[in-house]
Amino acid sequence: MSKLEKFLRGRLASAIAAVIIGFLISAVVLAAAGYNPLQTFAQLLNGALGKPKYIANVFIKATPILLTGVSVAFAFKTGLFNIGAEGQYIIGTVLASIVGIKLNLPMPLQVPIVLLSGILGGAALGAFVGWLKAKFGIHEVITSIMCNWIAFYLCNYVVMTDTFHKPNSNSALPINSSSYTMILGNWKKSSAGKEALANIPWLREILLKTDLNYGFIIAVLVALLIAFVLTRTKLGYELRAVGFNRDAARFSGIPVERNIVLSMLIAGAISGLAGALTITGISPHTITLLAAMESYGFHGMSVAFIAGSSPIGCIPASLLFASLIYGGMSVDAPTEIINIMIGIIVFFTALPGITPMLADMISKRRKEKEGSPKVSKDGTPLPRKEV
């Protein structure tokens, strides 16, 4: 088998093919709608990478998408479908906001506590879904969807309570500044900070015109940690064994029910962290009255599918999605075109047989070109003559 055939049979080839097909079909849709595809794609690229602040905003946008993607990928690797990442994300934002408003400790204490509150909120919601699955056999897709709406309306309830509501607005009070996770915090906006950044235009543009924070770094570390846990630890082996074959896992002594709950707990904790990092790292540092789902959890599902449920693969996939979403706001064409492109990419990612089919065609043509080997009377292949 040639290197090309091996590559085409891999998951990476399927993902690249899905992206290319997504762009090609989007070009046809754009042309049919009367827009210049090349010009639109150029605007998309410039809107995502044209300026330092655009690149910074892509990383900011990618942070919750990466974490929810890792959450979905982790659950899928253990035989579960965490469609409730959206609700776990929302719960993470709610609890991070409540704790961030009520507490005002020094930053080294405040930030970990606020982030931990979001993690615990998402973990609790995920564990509840896992418990219903393990105890009563209720499918996690059904309970996750219901929990998404519970989280949605709980957020709106908290926003409108007298304790947390910000007067004359549709949002809650902002968290205390000691909870912020932006790079250089409030110092960058001080006179000393502006003076220090004056001679570095690109850095000044990033730090003063965006909410660049430590979120993406934390998200990448979480993705690497989850990949390590799944492939290099006893816990990861047990979780994957339960997902692969629960009956065999139970026969070998692995506590199946406990691992189902634990898997959803970990997945929920990751999504809850995504919500907490959004509150601590991005203005206005608070929750608002929701009219619709924020879709970070659903984008995370798409990222997990493109990455083939690989936590590490979620890193480039999340950057791709963030670039499409953020860059899509700069195009003259309707933003629905970007949603069509994302949908097409996900659709063709779900058809992993395309590139292996190409590999089979290449292999067949290669064998036909080489021809069948000559054999002796006893069936032994004869050596080919050198030309």
State how far the Cα of 272 lies from the Cα of 122, in Å rounded to an integer: 4
Classified as helix, coil or strand, 288 is strand
Whether 57 is in a domain gets the answer no
| 35, part of any domain | no
Report yes or no: 286 and 279 within 8 Å, Cβ to Cβ.
yes
Domain that includes residue 161, residue range: 64-332
**CB 264 within 8 Å of CB 132:** no
The answer to whether 50 and 326 have CB atoms below 8 angstroms apart is no
> Are 31 and 23 within 8 A, CB to CB?
no
Query: Does 45 fall in a domain?
Result: no
Q: Is the pLDDT of residue 387 over 50?
A: no
What's the full length of the chain, in residues? 387
How many separate domains does the chain show?
A: 1
Please tell me the least confidently modeled range out of 10-24, 65-79, 152-166, 273-287: 10-24
- Angle ∠(129,134,139) on CA atoms, nearest 5: 55
Q: Which residue has the higher pLDDT, 144 or 363?
A: 144
Q: Is the entire prediction scored with pTM above 0.75?
A: yes
Residue written as token pair 């070009």? 27
pLDDT of residue 364: 72
The reply to whether 11 falls in a domain is: no
Q: Is 377 inside a domain boundary?
A: no
- Decide if pLDDT at 254 tops 60: yes
For residue 81, the number of C-alpha atoms closer than 13 Å in the C-beta half-sphere is 11
Tell me whether residue 195 is in a domain.
yes
Given the structure tokens 């970070």, which residue do they identify? Answer: 296
Residue-wise pLDDT for 171-192, tens only, equals 999 999 999 999 988 788 788 8
Cis peptide before 311 (omega within 30 of 0): no
**Is there a domain that residue 210 lies in?**
yes
Q: Is 36 contained in some domain?
A: no
